[in-house]
Structure 1
């Protein structure tokens, strides 16, 4: 059985839990205290971060790598597009999210960051999300009418907007309606820890 080492409030771990539940996988979760990590975390991941996935002799870290492995290992339902061109575009979107959104999420998650840098991070995230909001005037999900890995990638951030103190303008309403569709998925509900559930009232 697969074992996921996961932070109970970590948005990157949340991505992996979401994918595993979408796939209906059997897996165990080992909760890791992000501020008092056990020594085996550094032994499994030289960067000392979660999530970490263990399956037999395989050890994986970094959420996007873990999630692509799960998608290929358990092909139904398929979360990355089957077409090579669309799959490449999806990977490019995910890379863009990492650079333009989740780099700032890391700032907000870092207790040692200054409030000035966190304020800049909130503003940058708000601006980037507002820019993509018009997509949902026509699309049900990020890549059209099909739920994909892109939606899983961004969902933990959208769930944490209030928790992070990120305000969106009225023009981002289509994005917020999209977020509610994602939050209503049974796999998303099952993926949340008790600590994550109370982030949003």
Structure 2
């Protein structure tokens, strides 16, 4: 299997984490979003990352890739079999990829991606508004949802934890921390997730890419 995409993307990060948590053998090829090469567009018609090839099969989009991987490699499942638990995991993935991503993306783009990688001046006012107004209700929601087990669903690691943490990680690159005084459960949850060996490995590779 070959996974295409750059790790700083939370969607690529989410997929990498799933593949590594499941212990699968794969190659990771660095591809930037919007890659226009004919070879990549044959795999991902609109240049989206991540994309995956597995023999003659290819698919793009993190959710589609993870759905395929979970079905083909059922060992160490990250999608529960229980219908209610599976539905809750899918909700948290959607929450991460839309509601959380919208606010994190504004901050991450304006403070890092635009100025550093695209030569575009960042809109700090927009970034700060997301910090001050966009993130607090999201953090408050997550604070209310984290149980004593420190896993969002079913007292074990699932795609819910991977998806939410994959987006939260990008805040650390742009100077935004979860206030442990206001959100103690969320701060502890994020620290616990990032201490997992797979997270440590992936984040170390990312920091090297950023030159940190």
TM bin, normalised by shorter chain, reads: 0.7 to 0.9
- 1:192 partner SS: helix
Would you say the 8 A contact 1:133–1:171 is kept in 2?
no
Q: 1:147 & 1:105 partners in 2: Cα distance?
A: 23
Q: 2:36 & 2:177 partners in 1: Cα distance?
A: 35
Pick the aligned partner of 1:116 from 122, 125, 142: 125
Q: 1:150 & 1:129 partners in 2: Cα distance?
A: 15
Q: 1:135 & 1:127 partners in 2: Cα distance?
A: 13
Q: Which runs of 5+ in 2 are unaligned?
A: 115-119
- Give deviations 1:24-83, integer Å, cap 9, x for gaps: 111001012458x35133332233121111111221111122122212211111111111
Q: 2:32 & 2:80 partners in 1: Cα distance?
A: 35
Pick the aligned partner of 1:174 from 177, 181, 185: 185
Q: 2:56 & 2:209 partners in 1: Cα distance?
A: 36
Structure 1 stretches (4+) deviating beyond 6 angstroms? none
Alignment-derived partner of residue 196 in structure 2: 185
Question: Within 5 Å, which residues of 2 pair with 1:70-85?
Answer: 70-85=69-84
2:30 aligned with 1:19, yes or no?
no
Deviation for aligned residue 1:11: 1.6
Q: 2:182 & 2:195 partners in 1: Cα distance?
A: 22
Distance 1:38 1:46, change over 3 A: closer
Alignment-derived partner of residue 155 in structure 1: 165
Normalization by structure 2: what TM-score? 0.81
- Give deviations 1:110-159, integer Å, cap 9, x for gaps: 62563333233333134302321133353321114211110110122232
Segment drifting more, 107-116 vs 174-183: 107-116
Q: Which runs of 5+ in 1 are unaligned?
A: none
Segment drifting more, 172-181 vs 129-138: 129-138
Question: Within 5 Å, which residues of 2 pair with 1:7-86?
Answer: 7-34=6-33, 37=35, 39=37, 40-86=39-85
Larger RCO: 1 or 2 (CA < 8 Å, sep 6+): 1
Report the number of matched residues: 198
RMSD: 2.5
Q: 2:48 & 2:88 partners in 1: Cα distance?
A: 27
